[in-house]
Amino acid sequence: MQILTQKYCAEYSIKGAGLDGLKNLKTKNYGENMSKLQEFNNTPPWEWPETADVFFLEVLQNPDGKEEDRLLAAEMAGNFVVINDALADVLLNIVKNSNESEGLRCKAVISFGAALDYIYIDMDEFAEFDEYEDFAVTEAMYLRIIKSLKKLYFDGTVSELVRRRTLEASIRSPQEYHSGAVRAAYQSGSENWMVTAVFCMTYLKGFQQEILEALQNKNLDIKYHAVQAAGNWGMIEAWPYIRDILSDQNTDINLLLAAVDATVTIEHDDAESALNELLDSSDDDDIIDAVEEALAMRDEFY
């Protein structure tokens, strides 16, 4: 599949240059002004210029650039509006490079999440039509990412944080090894690995009991991800824990908002009354908006 569209070929006179040609491009306007990153960051992705991916490539491939610039570029490069084989290749090289900072490697690997998620959801279309024009990256790049992230996760010389972020990104397109990896992380006794494991349970079936256990955990991050997982799988068994969160006036707001979201997919008879009670008792605009949206969605679904 040709990576470059005609607009890139015309503008930069590199028709047929392929992956290496796009990677080695130097932009005429953006490369001289790193403040453009903030402009991109403050602009909705669908309004980015067509050359946004070229700009991100230049920033990411500049080893002498500011760390904060490369971190921001790595984050935005994963947006589905711009990510392509060239950007994926550069991000993957960053992830695998032990000379890069841990923070940049983590940011780069997490950027794969959206593309992996989208491709996995529409995998049937991949198989049936063998057409990839509608996807962020080609089949070859997708398979390369999957293989590379698996190898990175099992590499014991890689830092714990990079391995955790690798598991959190790769889970967006579940593979055979993930069940064992997530179970091992959950049973490791490490709170950090447990946070990663419960996060992954949102995307992987077969962990209902662990999710129910995690809902009772005192670690706020573990509990937050457990609420998200319970909501994603519509676990009616989790309702007593969700109900307690909704009725606790001292609940952390992020945890509370996650519980509100979970009521949309957990089909329990008491959910609507619990939401209405929260609506009556709260004066927080974010909570009110979330509850009203959840009630509207429940009216539509049920």
Higher pLDDT, 9 or 101: 101
Lowest mean pLDDT among 8-12, 93-97, 144-148, 250-254: 8-12
Contacts of 118 (CB under 8 A, 6+ apart): 80, 135, 136
**Average pLDDT, integer, range 190-207:** 97
Note the pLDDT of residue 22: 43
pLDDT > 50? residue 212: yes
Tell me the percentage of the chain whose pLDDT exceeds 70.
84
Query: In this structure, how many other beta carbons lie within 10 angstroms of the beta carbon of residue 8?
Result: 21
- Per-residue model confidence as pLDDT tens digits over 149-160: 999 999 999 999
**Average pLDDT, integer, range 188-194:** 97
Note the pLDDT of residue 302: 83
HEC per residue, the chain: CCCCCHHHHHHHCCCCCHHHHHHCCCCCCCCCCCCHHHHHHCCCHHHCCCCHHHHHHHHHCCCCCCHHHHHHHHHHHCCCCCCCHHHHHHHHHHHHCCCCCHHHHHHHHHCCHHHHHHHHHCHHHHHHHCCCCCCCCCHHHHHHHHHHHHHHHCCCCCCHHHHHHHHHHHCCCCCCCHHHHHHHHHCCCCHHHHHHHHHHCCCCCCCHHHHHHHCCCCCHHHHHHHHHHHHHCCCHHHHHHHHHHHHCCCCCHHHHHHHHHHHHHCCCCCHHHHHHHHHHHCCCHHHHHHHHHHHHHHHHHC
pLDDT > 60? residue 5: no
pLDDT > 70? residue 102: yes
Give the mean pLDDT of the chain.
87
pLDDT > 60? residue 6: no
- Per-residue model confidence as pLDDT tens digits over 222-281: 999 999 999 999 999 999 999 999 999 899 999 999 999 999 999 999 999 999 999 999
Band the pLDDT of 125: cuts 50, 70, 90.
Answer: low
Band the pLDDT of 162: cuts 50, 70, 90.
Answer: very high
Q: Residue 235 to residues 205, 217, 251, 265, 267: CA-CA distances in angstroms?
A: 12, 17, 21, 8, 8
Note the pLDDT of residue 23: 46
Which residue in 78, 15, 21, 26 sits closest to 51, CA to CA?
26
Band the pLDDT of 287: cuts 50, 70, 90.
Answer: very high
Domains of the chain by start residue, with CATH: 205-302 (1.25.10)
pLDDT > 50? residue 47: yes
Note the pLDDT of residue 126: 53
